[in-house]
Amino acid sequence: MPFIPHSEIDLKQMLDTVGVASVDDLFDEIPDNLRAKGLDNVPKALSEMELGRLMNERAKQDEGNLCFIGAGAYEHHIPAAVWDIAMRGEFLTAYTPYQAEASQGTLQVIYEFQTNIVNLTGLFAANASLYDGASGVAEAVLMAVRANRKAKTRRVLIAGTVHPRYRQTTKSIVQSQNIEMIEIPYDSETGVIDMDILSQYEDDTYAAVIIQQPDFFGNLEQVDALTDWAHAHNSLLIAVVNPLSLAIYSAPSEWGEKGADIAVGDGQPLGVPLSSGGPYYGFMACTKPLIRQMPGRIIGKTVDLDGKPGYTLTLQAREQHIRRAKATSNICTNQGLAVTASTIHMALLGTEGLERVAAASLGNTEKLVQKLTSIEGVELVFTGPRFHEAVLRLNKPVDEVLAALAEQNILGGLSLKRQYPELGEAMLVCATEMRSHDDIEQYFQVLSHILSSEPQS
């Protein structure tokens, strides 16, 4: 298909033909308050050559660093076979193809992906993926507000320990549908949601309660009690989960008496490289009663006229090409390639492999915490049970310390000063199965040196 841009003359002819004065007039049915007001922060377009150079420079920034940052994106080992297979021509597309049923192999991969997500979350059905974890939470909110008709409200509770970017993204997406997000503050001693604080919310109704396990700080929330509280107050429970953690912790379907209603998260830990922040993919699973409110494509397994197994797009009546403005699904499978890699990754590791990666990451983070807190001026902020991340507080300005570490090619952690200033000079650290004893020793040596030296400025 050739790329033929429209000339001014083409545009004028087309506008004259349909009888409108300008391109903007074609969009006049969109109310003013729903329009994005300009894109002032988008820089000028670059040429292909300039762009190539910029991307190479950016890519170099990631090279040769020892990474102790998690915070939603994790450096895990990806077997070489994963992307070698995923990059084969037969798989190499981001979307479910048009004439989907003609591409049985692609559909089978997505079906297997859905099956894996169902096995990890324990829920009834999973979709073929979403853009990422953050937009997944937003989609879960929209879905819960549609589905929870008994609550008769557009208010949703979200734990302050849910990833800050996920909270921001969700707010941005759902606010134009008049959905109000109310944040539950976390307990400053434990870094999790304290059950006692929930009594403040008992007089109101909420369509859903959103909690993250492990939470943004790496801590384990009291998911059973929180899930039961949500259900006792006629709210749906949305679980934001790291899929890798589900290899060793209880599945959302097992939380509390009835289990979570919707589980979402970012699939990056399962075979998707950090690559400077993306593309990753989101996943979503839900209980049987909610399935027709679930957005995204769903691949089903069936048999053809001869009784042979086949794969097909199913439940399409929810989707925008059929239900138009009333659709409960306005999202496609843009992240198909990352999903393909992830499916291969899960198949190669298997249940046991995932368990070992999760356990090794947990163990390495404990080693890291023990080692670093042995340095004078480093303390562990939250001491409860956790997965593979921890919050450490320093006796020096954290941003300066992290900059000094970066000069020694150590990405020492994520500063929490902007998102959680009340924690002081705090950072979030993580050591996955990739971080060896020597890596942790090196971090220890460099940090000891930085914290013992006098400030330069």
Partner 1 sequence: MSEIPSELKYSKEHEWIRLDDEGKVTIGITDHAQELLGDMVYIELPEVNDTVASGDETGVVESVKAASDIYAPISGKIIEVNEELADAPENVNSEPYESGWLYKMTLGDEADLDDLLTADEYAELISDE
* CB-based contact 415:403 (threshold 8 Å): no
Residue 438 to residues 67, 106, 434: CA-CA distances in angstroms? 13, 42, 11
Residue placing its CB nearer to partner 1 in the complex, 323 or 417: 323
Residue placing its CB nearer to partner 1 in the complex, 101 or 189: 101
Residue 14 to residues 1, 5, 30, 158, 440: CA-CA distances in angstroms? 21, 13, 21, 48, 64
The minimum distance between CB 318 and partner 1, in angstroms, equals 8
Instruction: Give CA 258 to chain center in angstroms.
Output: 24
Residue placing its CB nearer to partner 1 in the complex, 219 or 287: 287
Cα first-last separation, the chain: 59
Question: Who's near 188: CB < 8 A, 6+ residues apart?
Answer: 422
Task: Output the CA torsion sign for 186, 192, 198, 204.
Answer: positive
Residue placing its CB nearer to partner 1 in the complex, 150 or 449: 150
CA atoms of 449 and 457, how far apart (whole Å): 16
Residue placing its CB nearer to partner 1 in the complex, 171 or 292: 292
The minimum distance between CB 439 and partner 1, in angstroms, equals 53
Rg (CA), the chain: 24
DSSP state of 187: P
Question: Who's near 149: CB < 8 A, 6+ residues apart?
Answer: none
Determine the Cα angle at 28 with ends 22 and 33, to 5°.
Answer: 130
What 3-state DSSP class applies to 28?
Answer: coil
* CB-based contact 198:146 (threshold 8 Å): no
Residue placing its CB nearer to partner 1 in the complex, 314 or 453: 314
The minimum distance between CB 137 and partner 1, in angstroms, equals 25
| Most distant pair of Cα atoms in the chain: their distance | 78
In this structure, the strands spanning 236-241 and 426-430 are unpaired
The minimum distance between CB 334 and partner 1, in angstroms, equals 24
The minimum distance between CB 149 and partner 1, in angstroms, equals 5
Residue placing its CB nearer to partner 1 in the complex, 316 or 445: 316
CA atoms of 254 and 228, how far apart (whole Å): 11
Closest CA to 355 of 240, 433, 434, 253: 433
The minimum distance between CB 317 and partner 1, in angstroms, equals 4
The position carrying tokens 């390639």 is 337
Residue placing its CB nearer to partner 1 in the complex, 163 or 318: 318
The minimum distance between CB 131 and partner 1, in angstroms, equals 25
Residues at the interface with partner 1 (CB under 8 A): 149-150, 292, 317-318, 322-323, 326
Residue placing its CB nearer to partner 1 in the complex, 255 or 311: 311
Closest CA to 262 of 352, 82, 130: 130
In this structure, the strands spanning 282-286 and 262-266 are antiparallel
Residue placing its CB nearer to partner 1 in the complex, 291 or 359: 291
